[in-house]
Amino acid sequence: MLNIHAYTFGPYENCVYVMYANVKKVAVIIDAASGSFDGLKKCLADHEIHLFLTHGHWDHMCEAAKFQRELKAVVYAHKADQDWFTTEQSKYAPPGIFFETIAPDVWVEHGQMIQCSDLVIKVLHTPGHTLGQIALYMESLGSVFVGDTLFRRTVGRTDLPGGNFDQLKDSVRRILYTLPEDTVVYPGHGEKTSIGAEQKHNPIVPLGENSL
């Protein structure tokens, strides 16, 4: 049975998720926060690695190039965040944080199905936090990994370049809230929640049309 392993790395306490396939030594990683490479490299040795970047902000991708170069990880991301991945972001990072730009191997699109051994991943393009923000829906696990779009009882910031509050609310309501209510939501920071709980209790994006 596939299990979700959740880790916290970096000064912003980023959530990094790892799943290991049943059939062979295949690992799927969601995001590459500061410290994640050293924290995970031993348990990922000799694995075929698929690394999905939910968006281009430095705290979610600053060590992706290490995984790509040293562990031969295949890196997936949305092209709308290409400038974030290829442009130096050091002005946004705290002093002393390791940062390296990344050239993703695969540009993904909304609705794309990606199979990593026995794990099937559906890409959902959910712009608003950034232009290229994606969520990764794994129906077999009843889970969606949403990056910084949706948090427990709140949503992600939209004040950085490419952010758009109305677009973010639309992504939550039109895309994420259409998933089954019992879908577990794994965010880029903080504790997990569920689609049903956020539909009922999220004050920023309630399920109805009369949003704040």
Q: What is the pTM of this model?
A: 0.95
Is domain 4-201 in CATH 3.40.50.970, yes or no?
no
* Residue boundaries of the structural domains of the chain: 4-201
* pLDDT, tens digit, 9 for 90 and up, residues 94-109: 788 878 899 999 999 9
Average model confidence (pLDDT) across the chain = 93
* pLDDT, tens digit, 9 for 90 and up, residues 38-71: 999 999 989 999 999 999 999 999 999 999 999 9
Question: How far apart, in whole angstroms, are the C-alpha atoms of residue 63 and residue 41?
Answer: 12
Q: Edge-to-edge, what's the strand order for the sheet holding 184-187?
A: 113-116, 119-125, 134-138, 143-147, 184-187, 193-194
Query: Which H or E run includes 52?
Result: strand 48-52
Pairing of strands 106-108, 113-116: unpaired
